Amino acid sequence: MTSEITADGTTESNQIGERDREGDRPAAKHANLALFALAIGGFAIGTGEFVSMGLLPNIAAGVNISIPQAGHVISAYAIGVMVGAPLIAAFAAKWPRKRLLWVLMAAFVLGNLASAVAPNYPTLLLARFFSGLPHGAFFGIGAVVGASLVAPTRRAWAVSMMMSGLTVANVVGVPATTYLGQVLSWRWPYAAVGILAMLTLAAVLFWVPGRPPEADATIGSELSALRQRQVWLALLVGTVGFGGMFATYSYITPTMTTLAGFSETAVTGLLAVYGVGMTIGVIIGGRLADRALMPSLYGGLVLSAIVLFGFGVVVHTKPGAVLAVLVLGLSGSLLIPILQTRLMDVAREGQSLAAALNHSTLNLANALGAWLGGVVLDAGLGYEWPSRVGGFLALAGLAVALVSGRLDRQAADRVTATEGARARRGVG
């Protein structure tokens, strides 16, 4: 595979191998089924990731620990994501991608079923860590597979269709499994996620086309992504830019109850509104990225900054709060397919690793945003302030993105100058 720098300074990956030949791409119907299979996996993973947040009191009572200790269950999963994403993507480089997707989802099944039957707190922590290991790699490999199923001009759209499963999980899967856990037991949601993951196994088996591994794929070729400066800049954009959204979302419940006057039970509905915004945003982001990748990245970060700076102002009324939560979800998820595609473009031979690292970045952004939001709250400032901190983080992400875009333009200018010099020598 090679990378060419286009006239506007962006970097576009051109796959020379099997997967990008027009004749090798499946028919639209079969491509859509494959993307649907990947989206089911995203739905299962998204439900499994977020359901713990709404069941912390139930989990704490179930394994005889405090609620703060139960929060470590969420942290264990996030650590699993950050560890598993790069390691699996690199060391499984020579695996056929369909087989790897199947194995990753099988591991996710085992992790969630183990969570459902965990007899004590240490076992539950270990099960949640194991459940997180395949998360980032599944999304990263799935993004590469999804992009390979469609024409190059629709790659970001394909990525957004896969990611839509993750966002729809926040609309349907998380509220439904949270209710299940509150009515029956905290164990049942993990069992339900395991069943959803089993459905994904069948869907991947029947609908995702099998491809031989790329002949030149090695651990070294995947790790080569880490030698690309633009990869690190894209990861930094994600860490800082998404950190702004998480600085707000981490404290959404007390913000809504304190500033907007909602009851705690009503916050569940607001989280579904947030999920609707995420679903809309990820679809729009995929469309925009296919048309103009870097301008979409700049615009998305500007929009995110505007939303975050205005969030603390408009949430003092219930209608304003509902609108703010919807737009918060939209502006944050808009960036997901954009950054995912950007990483795949600049990674060259290490696309799978770079795409998987995007999800490690999201978890790091979650930790960064939650920590900075907590800093301003501990300083005695009100719940209007985490979102304002988030606005500055979005602007910092924009600054990094502008630096990355400038490097692209400089590289394009050098290519143009070199080609011009060669043409003049040829004429002479």
pLDDT tens digit sequence for 26-38? 556 688 888 899 9
208 and 264 share one domain:
no
Residue 8, in any domain of the structure: no
CATH code of the domain in which 318 resides: 1.20.1250.20
At 4 the pLDDT is 39
**Boundary residue ending a domain (182, 217, 252):** 217
Residue 204, in any domain of the structure: yes
At 426 the pLDDT is 64
Once rounded to an integer, what is the mean pLDDT over residues 246-275? 83
Once rounded to an integer, what is the mean pLDDT over residues 195-211? 90
Residues 144 and 97: beta-carbon distance below 8 Å: yes
251 and 162 share one domain:
no
Once rounded to an integer, what is the mean pLDDT over residues 175-195? 89
310 and 249 share one domain:
yes
Q: Is the pLDDT of residue 140 over 50?
A: yes
**Boundary residue ending a domain (177, 198, 217):** 217
Give this prediction's pTM.
0.74
Alpha-carbon gap, residue 196 to 154, rounded angstroms: 28
Q: Is the pLDDT of residue 107 over 90?
A: yes
At 339 the pLDDT is 87
Q: Is the pLDDT of residue 16 over 60?
A: no
Per the structure, how many domains does the chain have?
2
Alpha-carbon gap, residue 268 to 333, rounded angstroms: 19
DSSP 213: P
354 vs 342 pLDDT, higher one: 342
Number of Cβ within a 10 Å radius of residue 102: 17
Q: How confident is the model at residue 225 (pLDDT cuts 50, 70, 90)?
A: low
pLDDT tens-digit series, residues 84-105: 888 887 777 778 888 889 999 9
Residues 35 and 158: beta-carbon distance below 8 Å: yes
At 68 the pLDDT is 66
pLDDT tens-digit series, residues 380-412: 888 889 899 999 999 999 999 999 999 988 888
Q: Is the pLDDT of residue 21 over 50?
A: no
pLDDT tens-digit series, residues 40-64: 999 999 898 878 876 777 888 888 8
At 128 the pLDDT is 93
**In terms of residue numbers, what domain contains 244?**
224-415
One-letter amino acid for residue 196 of the chain: L
Once rounded to an integer, what is the mean pLDDT over residues 289-303? 92
Q: In the chain, how long is the greatest CA-to-CA distance?
A: 83
282 and 200 share one domain:
no
Q: Is the pLDDT of residue 213 over 80?
A: no
At 308 the pLDDT is 95
229 and 325 share one domain:
yes
Number of Cβ within a 10 Å radius of residue 125: 20
